[in-house]
Amino acid sequence: MFELSESTLTVLLGTTATVAIAHALVGIDHSLPFIALARARRWTLRRTVAITAGCGVGHVASSVVIGGVGAVAGSTLESLAWIESARGEVAAALLIGCGLAYAAWTAWRLFRGRVHTHLHTHGDGTVHVHPHDHEGEHLHAHDVASSLTPWALFVVLLLGPCEPLIPLMVVPAMSQSWGVLVAVVGIFGLLTVGTMTLTVVVGYRGLDFLPGPRLMRFADPLAGLVMAASGAAVLFLGI
């Protein structure tokens, strides 16, 4: 066991803060899916912030648990890094799958909901047409999707790793500086969730400047494609 010097502690905490912010900003899966789904599902800003923060807390907590269990079990940094990498691939694949499934399902609903006309002939010989769609028949399914999409994001983010956090936890764990370990986890978690939330708020408000009516018609399929693209960027580009 060794003691952390004041200079080492300063560098460690400063590095933790920097890495947490960069991790949340660079990881597009931490923000884009929330922005796209929030506007497609017409979530309020308050609900969007709550969902983003909740998913962020789960995202950080899962890596804290793995790091903590690994430290108690005496696992090496390499083995923990392998676990985090495997989790990352699974989470990215799930995000791709969920995004494509959501895009396909909502595109089918959009096609089914297209307005068409019915020809009506009355007994007196009067003929008229009126527009009709099937949107009302699918309201229940629509409500189910609204309730399931936040949970889908939560599960994906829960499985998604915070790779930079594990190495930052190793130094205080090796020195048995438990107060420092708590500080590292607290700073990383707070700044990760805060940066995620701020980025989502900026993106949410930024979409107000896009042409609303035309874009919103295809918002759901586009949101699914954004989710899938975010997962692909993580899986294949390492973003």
Q: Which of these, 56, 58, 71, 60, lies nearest to 16 by C-alpha position?
A: 60
Residue 41 has pLDDT above 70, yes or no: yes
* Residue 164 located in a structural domain: yes
pLDDT band at 137 (very low <50, low <70, confident <90, very high): very low
pLDDT for 30: 92
Classified as helix, coil or strand, 132 is strand
Extended beta strands in the chain, E state: 116-121, 127-132
Residue 130 domain-assigned (yes or no): no
CB-CB neighbours of 1 under 10 Å = 6
For residue 129, being part of any structural domain is answered with: no
Three-class secondary structure of residue 237 per DSSP: helix
Specify the pLDDT at position 72: 67
pLDDT, residue 15, reads: 95
Q: What is the per-residue pLDDT for 147?
A: 63
Window from 49-53, 55-59, 173-177, 201-205 with minimum mean pLDDT: 173-177
pLDDT (tens digit per residue) in 150-189: 888 888 888 887 878 888 888 887 777 889 989 999 999 9
User: CA geometry: angle at 44 spanning 40 and 50, to 5°?
Assistant: 105
125 domain residue, yes or no? no
Mean pLDDT of 38-66: 92
- Convert the pLDDT of each residue in 90-125 to its tens digit: 889 999 999 999 999 888 887 775 544 444 555 554
The count of domains in the chain is 1
Domain extent, residue 41, equals 6-110+136-237
Residue 124 lies in a domain: no
Pick the residue with more confidence: 207 or 230? Answer: 230
Please tell me whether residue 74 adopts helix, strand or coil conformation: coil
Q: Is residue 158 part of a domain?
A: yes
Residue 116 lies in a domain: no
Token pair 């900026």 is at which residue? 202
Is 168 within the bounds of a domain? yes
Rounded CA-CA distance 18/23 in Å is 8
Report for 66-80, 150-164, 201-215: range of highest mean pLDDT: 150-164
Across 68-85, average pLDDT: 71
At residue 77 the predicted structure's pLDDT band, cuts being 50, 70 and 90, is: low
pLDDT value of residue 129: 46
Q: What is the pTM of this model?
A: 0.79
* pLDDT recorded at residue 160: 82
